[in-house]
Structure 1
Amino acid sequence: MNVFDIIGPVMIGPSSSHTAGAVRLGRVVNKLIDDRPLKKLEITLSGSFAKTYKGHGTDRALLAGIMGYKSYSPEIRDAHEIAKKRGIDYTFLKENIKGAHPNTARIQYFLEDGTDGVMQGASIGGGNILVQRINGMNVDFNGENTTILVMHEDKPGVIASVTNMMHWEYEDLNISNFHLSRQEKGGEAIMTIEIDGLPPETIVDEIRGIEHVKNAILIRRV
């Protein structure tokens, strides 16, 4: 157990689950966007998030995280105004997402370049999070470790090519957790690779160069 587990996160807002955890969920989306300009957000809240999001500042926290702010950033208080100044059109919806954790948010984003995506995750207490789905596929990571997401075609040898490259080119890295999700055999798939340490940004360029890999995203600790 570390100090964070005992005293909770440094944060702006009344609730670690509804504020700090919400910021960290938003920051995962910020990493997925990778500094590309946002056009529109549709944020669906489920469970207690849906019931108390205005009073606990969950809406401001999610927006702030998506825009790159941290749980202790004073800009959280003005997240609505900052989003409007950036020209981001955002909507908050309430829905009972079946089987979801009580503090769940599903964030769909639309970028100026025409691309879009969706992330679903939960704030599970004490500012901790669990990311469960990205672009319709199951993932499983909490943002505590540096994570590499690899979107690829489900072809034989792709996993071996990625992990072998990481081993030979970045031998100091250690894979601490690996998860694979696919929509169907031979279709789109996503690797979730959690690693110890902080790799250079060049690692994703090398992964993107592997046959059948569509994209790779490096998410440093959020």
Structure 2
Amino acid sequence: MGKFNSVFDIIGPIMIGPSSSHTAGAVKIGNAARHLYGRSPSRASIHLYGSFAKTYKGHGTDVALVAGILGFGTDDNRIPEAFSYANQQGLAFDFIEENTAVEHPNTVRIKLGEGEDELELVGVSVGGGKIEIIELNGFQLHLSGSYPAILIMHNDRFGAIASVTEILAKHEINIGRMEVNRKDIGKEALMTIELDQNIEPEIEQELRSAKHIIRLAKVVN
């Protein structure tokens, strides 16, 4: 995961498109995938579920998602021409309409890159321009973006969690919510930590160097 800024900025009164759920929320989900990927992707496979799958063309969800993957903000005037900008930047993309039942009607699964270089993210647009990321590379999580957060991929070993919390405590950074998920015992695991404040670059670097830590990405609020 790469370093990124303002992935989940709460939308203000200005937005492009007819629906905050289908456009602003979609832009933000695409933007989250782009920044978690850490660089400009060359390929995006976008799987749409529920209401997104039924109305994505008429509501502009398709161009909004691509705009987000390109790194556009929710009020960017280039959003309606996102497909053209994607072609110019060498981003190949396709949309797949899925019939699988999902808990939330505005759900999208975005796959960026291919093979071992692939990032897979599932996001939902919950209304009013707000989103939630509920899955990242097969790990279940609940990330709303309402608070600063850090996502830490680590080895599932004794002391990994303590090494992170001790650094945060040393710098007097309070944890608002913390979630740890793993696929199997002893394999890679994911810590999702919401904080009361953004962390400084030197603290971020200290966390990256902590015991058993593999990768770190942060959400700035």
**TM-score w.r.t. length of structure 1:** 0.89
Q: What's the offset of the Cα at 1:8?
A: 6.8
Aligned to 1:178: 178
In the alignment, is the contact (CA less than 8 A) between 2:50 and 2:101 conserved in 1? no
Aligned to 1:16: 20
Alpha-carbon distance in 2 for matches of 1:73, 1:43 = 21
- 1:123 counterpart letter in structure 2: S
Q: What's the offset of the Cα at 1:94?
A: 0.8
In the alignment, is the contact (CA less than 8 A) between 2:49 and 2:102 conserved in 1? no
Aligned to 2:198: 198
Percent of aligned pairs with the same residue?
42
Aligned to 1:28: 32
2:65 pairs with 1:62:
yes
Q: What's the offset of the Cα at 1:205?
A: 2.4
In the alignment, is the contact (CA less than 8 A) between 2:49 and 2:98 conserved in 1? yes
Residues 149 and 155 of structure 1, relative CA distance in 2, 3 Å threshold: same
* Secondary structure, counterpart of 1:42 in structure 2: strand
Residues 130 and 97 of structure 1, relative CA distance in 2, 3 Å threshold: farther
* Secondary structure, counterpart of 1:60 in structure 2: helix
* Secondary structure, counterpart of 1:23 in structure 2: helix
Deviations 1:15-72 (A, max 9, x none): 01101111111121122022x2311000100000011111111011111112211111
Q: What's the offset of the Cα at 1:179?
A: 0.8
Q: Identify unmatched segments of 5+ residues in structure 2.
A: 1-9
2:108 pairs with 1:92:
no
In the alignment, is the contact (CA less than 8 A) between 1:23 and 1:63 conserved in 2? yes
In the alignment, is the contact (CA less than 8 A) between 1:31 and 1:219 conserved in 2? no
Q: What's the offset of the Cα at 1:9?
A: 4.5
Residues 21 and 9 of structure 1, relative CA distance in 2, 3 Å threshold: farther
Q: Identify unmatched segments of 5+ residues in structure 1.
A: none
Aligned to 2:56: 53
Aligned to 2:187: 187
Counterparts of residues 48-197 of structure 1 (less than 5 Å): 48-110=51-113, 115-168=117-170, 170-171=171-172, 173-197=173-197
Alpha-carbon distance in 1 for matches of 2:116, 2:204 = 22
Deviations 1:138-162 (A, max 9, x none): 0101112121000011111111100
**TM-score w.r.t. length of structure 2:** 0.90
- 1:189 counterpart letter in structure 2: A
Alpha-carbon distance in 2 for matches of 1:138, 1:114 = 19
Q: What's the offset of the Cα at 1:106?
A: 0.3
Alpha-carbon distance in 1 for matches of 2:154, 2:109 = 23
- 1:80 counterpart letter in structure 2: F
Q: What's the offset of the Cα at 1:198?
A: 2.0
Alpha-carbon distance in 1 for matches of 2:188, 2:140 = 12
Alpha-carbon distance in 2 for matches of 1:180, 1:97 = 27
In the alignment, is the contact (CA less than 8 A) between 2:160 and 2:212 conserved in 1? yes
* Secondary structure, counterpart of 1:12 in structure 2: coil
Counterparts of residues 202-221 of structure 1 (less than 5 Å): 202-221=202-221
Question: RMSD of aligned C-alpha atoms?
Answer: 2.1
* Secondary structure, counterpart of 2:112 in structure 1: strand
